[in-house]
Amino acid sequence: MSELEEITMHITDRISSLQRMLELSTDVIPQNRLKKFGQEVFVLEGLLYEFEKCVGRQHDHLKHLQELEGTFQKDLEDMQHLKEKMPAHMPRRKLPAVSEPAPSQNGAAMELQPRQQENVRKTNKSQIKEMEFISMPEFESIPQYMKGRLTYSQLNAAVESINRALAGKYKILHQSVKTLNNHSRRLYQRFKEEETKNTKGQYFVVEADIREFAEIKVDKRFQGILNMLRHCQRIREQRGGGLTRYVLL
């Protein structure tokens, strides 16, 4: 039972008591009953005062709850706005691979070690490095003259296209030549011819790779995007042999 309900019950009981006293009294109220009646009225007055204070507290509490409701509603609207305006490409980082615990028996560990090393080599070979998406602080750090009218989503869409080109190129390079069809073999041969001693162990693409796998125009606008990616330290250029190689950092 709340405080307000308790005070209301007390007031109701006191009023009922006064009503009974009046009903039981004759036209002339005895002195002792009159004194009792005055005491009851005094108590009732005190209860009414407490009732007013309790109503005031409840009013303040209701006002506070309404303010909280308004704040919550605003936060809810902000979250809904963020959900609707969430960029299609968010920055992401790959989690390091979790190594499996070594077997408890030494003999079993020695037996599995060569096989585990072989699996690690195969895994590392099959993994293809990707360019990380641009974060909003990085995008805002790009000079305005360099960005022009390009949006955050458009820049990360270009990152996704470059990653698609990387995936297509190195998927072919990681396969055995015998398993490739004629078109893929020609691409394989071109990829090898474009490598230099400075690109050994590096992941890179050239404009032909982007056209082949990403199917986007490598025009002046795209060159501007590459400048922004260099600014954000995602790639570096390496020129030679009439080619510009975009090497991942």
Which of the four pLDDT bands, split at 50, 70 and 90, describes residue 140? very high
Any idea which of 20-24, 43-47, 179-183, 244-248 has the lowest mean pLDDT? 20-24
Q: How far apart are CA 235 and CA 228, in angstroms?
A: 9
Q: What pLDDT does 93 receive? A: 52
Structural domain includes residue 80? no
Contacts of 8 (CB under 8 A, 6+ apart): 51
Structural domain includes residue 88? no
Structural domain includes residue 48? yes
53 and 144 both lie in a single domain:
no
Instruction: Name the percent of the chain lying above pLDDT 90.
Output: 39
Domain final position from 60, 80, 105? 60
Which of the four pLDDT bands, split at 50, 70 and 90, describes residue 233? very high
Query: Residue 31 sits in which domain range?
Result: 1-60
Q: What pLDDT does 97 receive? A: 45
Mean pLDDT of 146-169: 92
Structural domain includes residue 96? no
Which of the four pLDDT bands, split at 50, 70 and 90, describes residue 83? confident
Structural domain includes residue 66? no
54 and 153 both lie in a single domain:
no
Average pLDDT value over all residues in the chain: 79
Instruction: Name the percent of the chain lying above pLDDT 70.
Output: 73
Element (H, E) at 85: none
Give the number of domains in the chain.
2
134 and 56 both lie in a single domain:
no
| Better-predicted residue by pLDDT, 229 or 241 | 229
Q: What pLDDT does 24 receive? A: 61
Contacts of 164 (CB under 8 A, 6+ apart): 213, 214
Residue 248 has pLDDT above 80, yes or no: yes
Structural domain includes residue 162? yes
Q: What pLDDT does 216 receive? A: 79
Structural domain includes residue 5? yes
- Provide the CATH number for the domain around residue 144: 1.10.10.1890
Which of the four pLDDT bands, split at 50, 70 and 90, describes residue 98? very low
Q: In the structure encoding, which two tokens stand for residue 197, read together?
A: 């001693």
- Residue 166: CB atoms within 10 A of its CB come to 23
132 and 215 both lie in a single domain:
yes
Residue 26 has pLDDT above 90, yes or no: no
| Better-predicted residue by pLDDT, 64 or 152 | 152
What's the count of helices (H) and strands (E) in the chain, helices before strands?
9, 3
Q: What pLDDT does 110 receive? A: 46
Structural domain includes residue 134? yes
53 and 157 both lie in a single domain:
no
DSSP 56-70: HHHHHHHHHHHHHHH
Residue 27 has pLDDT above 90, yes or no: no
